[in-house]
Structure 1
Amino acid sequence: MRMDNPSSGRRRGRVTIKQVAEHAGVDPSVVSRVINHDPRLSVRPETRERVVAAIKELGYRPNAVGRSLRTARAGMLGLFIPDFANPVYAEIIKGAEAAAAQLGYLLVTGSASGSKPGTGHYVDLLGQGRVDGLLLAGTDASSALIDRLNDALLPWILVNQRVSWARRYVILDDERAGDLAVEHLVDLGHRRIAHLAGPPTSDTARRRRAGYLAAMERVGLAHDERLIVDADYTPAGGAAAIADLLALDEPPTAVFVANVASAIGALHAAQAAGVEVPRDLSLVAVHDLPLAGYLTPPLTTVRMPLEDLGRRGVELLTGSDPDAPIEETVDNSVELIVRDSTTRPPRRRRKTLGAADHG
């Protein structure tokens, strides 16, 4: 695991609970119970808001030992993911759940997908003492949301994502994944290698794109922006993106796909268009889920330590000062799994590869 040289944390003022209580016009015991998410505390919402405002205004930071999750009060941790339909998050959940159980916690998992109240609503609920900490795995991590977590004094960590306004995260070495994929295709003899990228707003997609570009430059292959197509991390997104690549005057002979779900759609659409994988087109994707080996043909992948990522997220959340910066990369066990979807490039390029079926 790699630590990314976090800078020192912000200086904490020597503000006491008594000073916060005086500022908010309440008894110190009320401040203490708000800080510790005591579910038995019965005060008016405006009183609680006044205490939180006083804490924020005075810059009060509870004692790290007092806020440590080693003395958990609810015995539960929360994990938020974008969508239960994405199989990648099942692996992260598996690792997080195992680590939580080992530490004596119950893991509660929720999805932001299709939720009318939105992530913020759940954060408000969880901030009322229902969980002892929250892992945000690829979900909305806006600056407003991070402010709400801090206002609620709820310890949190970002999993599999980074944002400029939050310095508490654990991620994977996605640049390495792009490097391994391109290196494999180059070794097979491919020179026109495309990248079926992820959403441009996704941190993982940006890092995989960076790995692809760095590897292409390292081996001396010219950068062609037409060979990079953005797509959602879904089969439908992959199918639409591969159609754009196959429609080029000079289509690629190989594609590095940023996500296995996108690759499934790309594989289906290419074959529906009469493009045989790997005879006409080689495909390699990030994430080696069990289903990858059962596709036709079995998919070459870059295996990422998703379970280790979930496990490490829980360890960092429960074992660190809630105010301390965390910038860590889990870089063990990133490896190429070669299957039948990649081979040497075709000797003669087909003039017309057809349009992909988006169905």
Structure 2
Amino acid sequence: MKRSRVTLADVAALARVDRAVVSRVVNKDATLNIRPETRERVLAAVEQLGYRPNVAARSLRTARAHMFGIFVPDFANPVYAEIIKGAEAEAAAQGYVLVTGSATGAGLGGYMDRLGQGRVDGLLLAGAGGESGLVEQLDRAGIPWIMLNHRSRSVRRSVVLDDERAAALAVEHLARLGHRRIGHLAGPAGADTATRRSAGYSAAMRDAGLPEGPIVAADYTPAGGAAAMATMLAAAEPPTAVFVANVASAIGAMEAVRKAGLEIPREISIVAVHDLDLASYLFPALTTVRMPLAELGRRGVTLLGRLQPDEAVAEVLDGPIDLIQRRSTAPPPTP
């Protein structure tokens, strides 16, 4: 026989409380004032009976879908996986489901069409700032939305990382090692993160009293990093160290160095933004700047949970940014 669904009434009967109390405990109502032992009795009954809220019924009752969406440029970029993990953890803590989509499919417009207006209670957008008419499209949807690590004059809701500080940490590390010709493998033109990391590189070079080295733009992929590094190494006076704007680009950059017959770090040092598990397994292990990616996702969801559709947000995330030194950086070669 098919087991009947456990209801609020079943939990209330076992816990010896009113159904409304069970509902408010399950939904984490902060205004509910009951004795701790009563709350524990309700939670024990929920666990014993295996009660699960009826999400469809709750959505009809509250006019909320209890789902957040997150849109990223490309699932293949491991940086976005870290952001999604943080966002998903916070969404679950709030009793929400996180629905993901990427630009490799039908784009943001197709993603929103598939979800349907009103099917999510808020939307996070990581790196989706280049689409024409994006802000107007989001405003027409009538739901709260936030850009993650992207800001511009047209974007009035954003939470970003301190990319300038990350770039400064990388340059300062290389300068302390004794490097004077420090190149910059930048991000793609038009990307807000790339602009801020390049600005941080330039400022840090000035602070160190060093002239800027060669700067070559690349997309945030291994292939883009490899092509950009090959261009940089073909210069008349190539750098002895390179600050790379993204860890995925750095993977390709390291391969280009090897193909050129050079050794890392004896002949050229490399440091990249974003510390992922894979960085320690590269050869040599890659020196990185660790950014609070998961916290970025968590903060975005936290804000969505209380954001009004027309409310402005402009935050630079106050999270730890650390240089993780590994074997891809060393003092420059002696003349």
Q: Same fold (TM over 0.5)?
A: yes
Go from structure 1 to structure 2 and tell me whether the alpha carbon gap of 1:240 and 1:152 turns closer, same or farther (over 3 Å shift): same
Aligned to 2:34: none
Q: Which of 246, 259, 263 pairs up with 2:246?
A: 259
Aligned to 1:99: 90
Q: Work out whether residues 175 and 210 of structure 1, in 8 Å CA contact, stay in contact via their aligned partners in 2.
A: yes
**Quick one: distance in 2 between partners of 1:108 and 1:316?**
17
**Quick one: distance in 2 between partners of 1:149 and 1:125?**
14
Q: Which of 101, 106, 114 pairs up with 1:110?
A: 101
What is the TM-score when the length of structure 2 is the normalising length?
0.80
DSSP 3-state at the match of 1:214? helix
Cα shift readout 1:49-80 (whole Å, capped 9, x = no counterpart): xxxxxxxxxxxxxxxxxxxxxx6611101100
Aligned to 1:31: none
Q: Which of 160, 174, 191 pairs up with 1:171?
A: 160
Once the 2 structures are TM-superposed, how far is the Cα of residue 324 of structure 1 from its aligned partner?
1.4
Worse-matched range after superposition: 123-132 or 96-105: 123-132
* Paired letter, 2:227: A
Structure 2: any 5+ residue segments left out of the alignment? 1-61
Aligned to 1:181: 170
* Paired letter, 2:171: V
Once the 2 structures are TM-superposed, how far is the Cα of residue 127 of structure 1 from its aligned partner?
4.5
Q: Work out whether residues 141 and 163 of structure 1, in 8 Å CA contact, stay in contact via their aligned partners in 2.
A: no
**Quick one: distance in 2 between partners of 1:184 and 1:145?**
39
Does residue 216 in structure 1 map to residue 205 in structure 2?
Answer: yes
Q: Work out whether residues 161 and 316 of structure 2, in 8 Å CA contact, stay in contact via their aligned partners in 1.
A: yes
Aligned to 1:28: none
**Quick one: distance in 2 between partners of 1:141 and 1:221?**
33
Q: Which of 262, 265, 269 pairs up with 2:256?
A: 269
**Quick one: distance in 1 between partners of 2:141 and 2:116?**
5
Aligned to 1:161: 150
Does residue 196 in structure 1 map to residue 185 in structure 2?
Answer: yes
DSSP 3-state at the match of 2:288? strand
Once the 2 structures are TM-superposed, how far is the Cα of residue 279 of structure 1 from its aligned partner?
0.2
Q: Which of 65, 81, 92 pairs up with 1:74?
A: 65
What is the TM-score when the length of structure 1 is the normalising length?
0.74
Cα shift readout 1:270-299 (whole Å, capped 9, x = no counterpart): 012111000000000000000000000000
Q: Work out whether residues 127 and 154 of structure 1, in 8 Å CA contact, stay in contact via their aligned partners in 2.
A: no
Aligned to 2:334: 347
DSSP 3-state at the match of 1:163? coil
Aligned to 2:285: 298
Does residue 89 in structure 1 map to residue 80 in structure 2?
Answer: yes
Q: Work out whether residues 143 and 165 of structure 1, in 8 Å CA contact, stay in contact via their aligned partners in 2.
A: no
**Quick one: distance in 1 between partners of 2:138 and 2:218?**
31
Q: Which has the higher contact order (CA 8 A, sep 6+)?
A: 1
Q: Work out whether residues 282 and 342 of structure 1, in 8 Å CA contact, stay in contact via their aligned partners in 2.
A: yes
**Quick one: distance in 2 between partners of 1:126 and 1:88?**
24
Aligned to 1:237: 224
* Paired letter, 2:97: L
Once the 2 structures are TM-superposed, how far is the Cα of residue 330 of structure 1 from its aligned partner?
0.9
**Quick one: distance in 1 between partners of 2:318 and 2:227?**
31
DSSP 3-state at the match of 1:319? coil
Aligned to 2:10: none
Cα shift readout 1:12-54 (whole Å, capped 9, x = no counterpart): xxxxxxxxxxxxxxxxxxxxxxxxxxxxxxxxxxxxxxxxxxx
Cα shift readout 1:170-226 (whole Å, capped 9, x = no counterpart): 0100000100000000000000000000001100000000000000001111234xx
DSSP 3-state at the match of 1:128? coil
Cα shift readout 1:108-165 (whole Å, capped 9, x = no counterpart): 011111x2x3311222343522111111111245451211111121211101111221
Go from structure 1 to structure 2 and tell me whether the alpha carbon gap of 1:294 and 1:72 turns closer, same or farther (over 3 Å shift): farther
* Paired letter, 2:183: A
Worse-matched range after superposition: 190-199 or 322-331: 322-331
**Quick one: distance in 1 between partners of 2:63 and 2:219?**
38
**Quick one: distance in 2 between partners of 1:110 and 1:143?**
18
Aligned-residue Cα RMSD (Å) equals: 1.2
Q: Work out whether residues 169 and 289 of structure 2, in 8 Å CA contact, stay in contact via their aligned partners in 1.
A: yes
Q: Work out whether residues 129 and 150 of structure 2, in 8 Å CA contact, stay in contact via their aligned partners in 1.
A: no
DSSP 3-state at the match of 2:133? helix
